Structure 1
Amino acid sequence: MSDLYWLTDEQMARLQPYFPKSHGRERVDDRRVLSGIIFVNRNGLRWRDAPREYGPAKTLYNRWKRWSDKGIFIRMMEGFPRMLFPQRAMFRVFRA
């Protein structure tokens, strides 16, 4: 499938600080999982309909749930203005 969504190296490097450190056993790559989560949300799919290239559907859902509960996606969104405009620290992000 050539129309799959994959984060670039540069995008992942910018997002990496927001992810928790890996402890214990090796897990499915964060880049692969996050790309899958974005693909599912962009296309309005059910988790079980995600292409296998992103990993098991249960892994995608569990990681999305865990990261959501830990506030990782909110911290990413709050950090985007600082990543995009580092010289303009005066921007503020408000929750709706």
Structure 2
Amino acid sequence: MAAKRYEIDDHQWEQIKELFPRAKTGRPGKDNRDMFNAILWIARSGAAWRDLPERYGPWKTVYSRFCKWRDDGSLETIFYALNVEIDDENLMIDSTSVKAHQHSAGAKKGL
């Protein structure tokens, strides 16, 4: 499966697929990978829940799954598992330097 923008790849999915809680009763829910990718899409795009693309399903379903995983600690466990391997591809180093004006050195004014 080719990952789309903002989605996890197959290797990352293999790392976390067993960490999602299992449904105890009722009909089978939507695929956990689709739900997790929808949550990532919202987080990375900064869009409102209602602007979720239709390919992920109803936004209310994704939101309720997000709340469930947030409240039971599943999301925290999953993100810790994904952080075990360092991803140097997205590592950023900022080398910006800011020089202070000569008058900001603290000398007495009016000299």
5+ residue gaps, structure 1, are 86-96
5+ residue gaps, structure 2, are 87-111
| Equivalence for 2:6 | 5
1:26 Cα deviation (Å)?
1.4
Equivalent residues in 2 for 1:18-37, closer than 5 Å? 18-23=19-24, 24-37=26-39
Identity among equivalent pairs (%): 32
Bigger Rg over Cα: 2
Letter in 2 for 1:44: G
1:14 Cα deviation (Å)?
0.8
1:11 Cα deviation (Å)?
1.4
Aligned length: 82
- Contact preservation (8 Å) 1:6, 1:32: no
TM-score (norm. length: structure 2): 0.64
- Corresponding residue SS for 2:78: helix
1:7 Cα deviation (Å)?
2.3
Larger relative helix fraction: 1
| Equivalence for 2:50 | 48
Q: CA RMSD in A?
A: 1.9
In the aligned structure 1, how far is the partner of 2:80 from the partner of 2:44? 20
